[in-house]
């Protein structure tokens, strides 16, 4: 959905990005750039993490929201603003509105993570929960704007929002003068459009090139099909843990910029994203939401290549602790470091001890055990043993299964 009048659909220029950077000076944090030796080994080129998960409100969204609101006229400010978001845009608009003294109403889906909901309300916005996905809040916010006169603040399809997000690209150019490649997640496309436009314009002035790579979740990937068709398409989406980039249709203006300036768009699976979150926790000591980790996921999955200094943007850190718990468990399983086995056993003494001995010999650490005679398809003389075990990776996992099979058992891995 685009509520932006056609007269506004002008691409930001390098001057616009410079103005946005000056406006945001002292308002946003200049987030760190942290080199990752582990990811550098994986990619075969130096990899730096841009820690926008440490940005104010926990994501890059404060950049575009603040610049967009700063350019409203006094009459527009008096009418208030309205936005729709699954979380990060909501927080950005709410904080920007509070700092500028502008009334804000935010529509959010019913399943929004609790930390994002509480933070948005904490910044002083009125929050209305409606709909299962962000598409319903977008529609309701547009209707609210028409009914009340409030200014609709689109999360990505407006040149001022894109200009604000693009300030991130200028920072990267300043911080890493020999920058070769930037990897960013894509939802509606506002961040990558802004960064691509700012970086390509600056690079042209400096007489060099910088590659821009976009990453989408496989379950919500509107850009590959849209780019192939030559225009934005509405695509069917499936649930994804990367809810922050789950957008069914590209923005009109971001699509134009991405089509012309982004060098490649790749997709990553849910397992790839879960593994990336685990790597960021263990190796980089960074808490990142799934949408903010897709660039790392693309590196780990071998979906991108680079020959020089590379930056992947950790675009947000607002993850529900309960989701983090589930994702870590999923990431461990996807990395071959945790699995649940079901083993049918004859119902006679000593079988549990025998299986435990085999697992110990194979070096697996048992976390949980369920021993039951009740199960579909079981013979009257059989029981099912279900075990959750820690392993050291895919090779060790296969060794554990093989050890049980060689002893005459028939283990099956329970899907995560």
Q: DSSP string of 110-175?
A: TT--HHHHHHHHHTT-EEEE--SSTHHHHHHHHHHHHHH-PEE--SSSSHHHHHHHHHHHHHHHHH
Whole-angstrom distance, CA of residue 250 vs CA of residue 190: 9
pLDDT over 70 for what percent of the chain? 95
Q: Which CATH architecture has domain 336-414?
A: 2-Layer Sandwich (3.30)
Residues recorded for the chain = 416
* 204-208, 317-321, 379-383, 399-403: the lowest-pLDDT one: 379-383
What does the pLDDT look like over 232-261, one tens digit per residue? 999 998 999 998 898 899 999 999 999 999
pLDDT at 285: 96
Asked if residue 214 lies in contact with residue 187, where contact means CB atoms within 8 angstroms, the answer is no
pLDDT for 70-109, tens place per residue?
999 999 999 999 999 978 999 999 999 999 999 999 999 8
Q: Is 85 a catalytic residue?
A: no
Multiple choice CATH, 6-61+159-332, 3.50.50.60, 2.40.50.140, 3.40.50.1100, 3.90.650.10: 3.40.50.1100
Is 40 among the catalytic positions?
no
* Cα atoms in the 13 Å half-sphere on the side-chain side of 63: 33
Please, what sign has the CA dihedral across residues 67, 71, 74, 79?
A: negative
Interval 9-59: pLDDT, tens: 689 999 999 999 999 999 999 999 999 999 999 999 999 999 999 999 999
Domain boundaries, the chain: 6-61+159-332, 63-152, 336-414
Please give the pLDDT value at position 329. 81
- 3 pLDDT exceeds 50? no
Confidence of residue 8 (pLDDT cuts 50, 70, 90): very low
Half-sphere exposure of 361 (CA within 13 A, CB side): 12
Tokens describing residue 267: 């997709």
Task: With a cut of 80, say whether residue 281 has pLDDT above it.
Answer: yes
347 vs 207, which has greater pLDDT?
207
Q: Distance between CA 246 and CA 150 in Å, rounded?
A: 26
**Best CA proximity match to 83, nearest among 70, 94, 99:** 94
CATH 3.40.50.1100 assigned to domain 63-152? The reply is: yes
HSE of 98, CA atoms in CB hemisphere, 13 A: 18
Averaged pLDDT score across all residues of the chain: 92
Topology alike, domains 6-61+159-332 and 63-152: yes
CB atoms within 10 A of CB 260: 12
Residue 390 exposure: Cα atoms within 13 Å on the Cβ side? 3
Closest alpha carbon to 123 in 144, 93, 145:
93
Which position among 36, 50, 59, 61 bears the catalytic label? 61
Over 50: is that where the pLDDT of 282 sits?
yes
Instruction: Check 70, 220, 315, 335 and give the catalytic one.
Output: 315
């Amino acid at each position: 959905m685009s509520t932006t009048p056609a007269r506004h659909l002008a691409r930001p220029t390098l001057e616009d990005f410079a103005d946005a950077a000056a406006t945001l000076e002292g308002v946003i944090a200049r987030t760190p750039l942290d080199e990752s030796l582990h990811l550098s080994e994986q990619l075969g080129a130096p990899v730096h993490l841009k820690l926008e998960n440490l940005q104010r409100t926990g994501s890059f969204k404060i950049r575009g929201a603040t610049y967009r609101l700063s350019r409203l006229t006094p009459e527009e400010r008096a009418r208030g603003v309205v936005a729709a978001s699954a979380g990060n845009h909501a927080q950005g608009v709410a904080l920007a509105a509070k700092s500028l003294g502008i009334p804000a109403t935010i529509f959010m889906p019913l399943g929004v993570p609790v930390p994002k909901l509480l933070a948005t309300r904490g910044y002083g916005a009125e929050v209305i929960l409606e709909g299962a996905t962000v598409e319903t809040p977008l529609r309701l916010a547009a209707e609210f704007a028409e009914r009340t006169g409030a200014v609709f603040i689109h999360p990505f399809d407006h040149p001022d929002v894109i200009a604000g997000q693009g300030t991130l690209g200028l920072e990267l150019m300043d911080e890493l003068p020999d920058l070769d490649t930037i990897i960013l997640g894509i939802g509606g496309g506002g961040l990558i459009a802004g960064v691509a436009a700012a970086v390509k314009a600056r690079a042209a002035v400096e007489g060099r090139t910088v590659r821009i790579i976009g990453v989408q979740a496989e379950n919500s990937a509107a850009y590959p099909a849209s780019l192939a068709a030559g225009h934005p398409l509405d695509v069917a989406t499936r649930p994804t843990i990367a809810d922050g980039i789950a957008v069914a249709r590209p923005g009109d203006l971001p699509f134009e910029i991405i089509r012309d300036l982004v060098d490649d768009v790749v997709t990553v699976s849910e397992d790839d994203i879960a593994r990336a979150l685990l790597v960021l926790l263990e190796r980089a000591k960074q808490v990142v939401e799934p949408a903010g980790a897709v660039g790392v996921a693309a590196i780990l999955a071998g979906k991108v290549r680079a020959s020089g200094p590379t930056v992947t943007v950790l675009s947000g850190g607002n993850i529900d602790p309960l989701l983090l718990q589930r994702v870590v468990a999923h990431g461990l399983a996807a990395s071959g470091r945790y699995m649940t086995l079901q083993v049918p056993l004859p119902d006679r003494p000593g079988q549990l001890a025998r299986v435990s001995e085999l697992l110990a010999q194979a070096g697996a650490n048992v976390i949980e055990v369920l021993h039951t005679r009740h199960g579909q398809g079981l013979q009257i003389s059989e029981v099912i043993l279900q075990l959750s075990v820690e392993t050291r990776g895919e090779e060790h996992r296969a060794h554990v299964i093989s050890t049980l099979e060689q002893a005459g058992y028939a283990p099956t891995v329970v899907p995560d």
